[in-house]
Amino acid sequence: RWFTHFYVVSVLWNGFLLICLFRVEFLGESLPSWIQDVHHALGRDSQSKDTGKYSRYYHHFSALLVLLLLWLHSCRRLAECLWTSVFSSGVIHIVQYCFGLGYYIAVGSTVLCQVPTNVRNGKKLSVQICWYHIIGVMMYIWASLHQHRCLAILANLRKSRSGKVVSLSHSVPFGDWFESVSCPHYFAELLIYVSMAITLGMQNVTWWCVVMYVLFNQALAAVLCHEFYQKNFSSYPKHRKAFIPLVF
């Protein structure tokens, strides 16, 4: 249940970054000086000197769009933690808790660091929509809908027909992507981050590193959960994979 804290931090911090970038994009303002100093320390100025004008505009709008998607994802997950999910009495390790807080601060900052610094000159930028923006957003919506459905299925296992919580024990879920994998909500999380990589133009190495982290993190959690189901439920469906349908 303390994962709720992660999404509170993410909504506040990434919402702040989103507002900053929005003001740059549409109001012609500059990012706060301390953010520009961080970019300079990371070498973003030198990395963006050779970037073409229209390419820079695409980078700007792509980063704005991904930051918006990340913020919306955090808002939805926060709402699900507060009003959908039914948590057991399990606890989280303090190291994992601190890492989680740091992760949701760093991931939004990572998006902002993909914006070339040499276009922050006080001029308004036009919206440049590209084909990969459309594909990325469509994939994001598709994966988000399935993740919400799967989380609702898990929550309903502990509720009565009237919606009252009647148990905190684990049960075997059925429906939606649960018919193919044990942890479809983890698989959907991976797809959401892949959709953001597509929205960034598919060539952003930094964000693909984030995707790889999410892949290994979610895969490990899925395997542990899959083994738990197999160990505790003798009639657990044999055809289900742990994480990726038909693959893993």
For the stretch 171-194, pLDDT in tens is 999 999 999 999 999 999 999 999
pLDDT number for residue 117: 57
Q: What is the pLDDT of residue 24?
A: 81
Distance of CA 151 to the CA centre of its chain: 15
The pLDDT value recorded for residue 57 is 53
Distance CA 116, CA 132 (A): 19
What are 197's two structure tokens?
Answer: 């990589």
Quote the tokens at residue 49.
Answer: 């000197």
Task: Quickly state the pLDDT bin for 124 (edges 50, 70, 90).
Answer: low
- pLDDT score recorded for residue 53: 46
What tokens does 104 get? 């949701």
Q: Is the dihedral of CA 22, 60, 45, 211 positive or negative?
A: positive
The Cα 187–Cα 196 span in angstroms is: 15
Mean pLDDT across the stretch 96-113?
92
- Say what percent of the chain tops pLDDT 90: 69
Residue 221 pLDDT greater than 90, yes or no: yes
Give Cβ neighbours of residue 239 (< 8 Å, ≥ 6 apart).
none
Q: What is the pTM of this model?
A: 0.91
What is the distance in angstroms between the CA of the first residue and the CA of the last residue of the chain? 28
Higher per-residue confidence, 232 vs 27: 232
Cα dist from 90 to 3, 169, 222, whole Å: 12, 11, 17
Residue 50's pLDDT is what?
A: 44
Residue 241 β-bridge partners: 181
- Pick 121 or 60 by higher pLDDT: 60
pLDDT digits (tens, 9 = 90+) for 86-104: 998 888 999 999 999 999 9
- The pLDDT value recorded for residue 58 is 57
Tens of pLDDT, residue by residue over 22-52, are: 888 777 777 778 777 777 776 655 444 444 4
Task: Judge whether 111 and 211 are in contact, CB under 8 Å.
Answer: no
